[in-house]
Amino acid sequence: MNLAIFASGQGSNFSAIVKAIKRGKVKARSVLLVCDKPDARVIGRAKKAKVAVILVRREDFASRIDFETAISQRLKSYKIDLIALAGFMRMLSPGFVRKYRNRIINIHPSLLPAFKGSHAIKDALEAGVASTGVTVHFVDEEMDHGPVILQQEVRITNKDTLASLEKRIHSVEHKLYPQAIRLFFEKKIKIKGRKVEISNP
């Protein structure tokens, strides 16, 4: 199975996935990084791990469609089975989602459908809820939406700060995302309509 990880920022999930591949826990034949930000920390992580990098800047294209077409063209020769979005700060167009239907997954730091958007951890903390969590889901045409593959709850205590909650959520992400990718590669994930069924996890 060939994996493309799309990321724009820090890349801690990227590193967790690559580590799981290197340890043989996730059986990927190849892995590459698609990044849209030349100064993102994730690029340094990829270089250090000897993972191929495709850098495609949105500013170099007149439209989102042209930008995504360039990504698709660059991906062609890699015969990608799965795209894992890991902090990729762009919404993919419906056309791109259709092209890779049920082959794009995302990780989000909340128990979706609660707290969509890019400040999910802060929003949960400020809302005063007792727990939040992490969701891995298939990507559809809507933001932070699509059939849920795995979810894990993270309790919020009254001592939590944004930093302490982020830390616990990220450590859950770093286990949950490799697990979801492993299940996908082992063909244990079936989509039935809007629902996901997982066999012998």
- N-terminal to C-terminal alpha carbon distance within the chain: 18
Alpha helices in 35-161 (DSSP H): 41-48, 64-76, 94-99, 120-127
Q: How far is the CB of 83 from ligand GRF (least distance, A)?
A: 14
Q: How far is the CB of 42 from ligand GRF (least distance, A)?
A: 6
* Cα–Cα dist 103/57, whole Å: 23
Does residue 87 interact with ligand GRF by CB under 6 A?
A: yes
Does residue 140 interact with ligand GRF by CB under 6 A?
A: no
Of the candidate residues 4, 5, 6, 13, the single one contacting ligand GRF (CB under 6 A): 13
Q: Is 108 a catalytic residue?
A: yes
Dihedral of CA atoms 97, 85, 28, 176 in degrees, nearest 10, equals -120
Residue that the structure tokens 């239907």 belong to? 101
Q: By the 8 A CB rule, do 38 and 118 touch? A: no
Site string for ligand GRF, 102-131 (x = CB under 6 A): -----xxx----------------------
Of the candidate residues 26, 32, 43, 86, the single one contacting ligand GRF (CB under 6 A): 86
Nearer Cβ to ligand GRF (61/100): 100
Nearer Cβ to ligand GRF (67/88): 88
* Cα–Cα dist 4/81, whole Å: 8
Q: Report, as residue numbers or ranges, the catalytic residues.
A: 108
Residues lying near ligand GRF in the complex (CB under 6 A) are found at 7, 9-14, 86-87, 107-109, 173
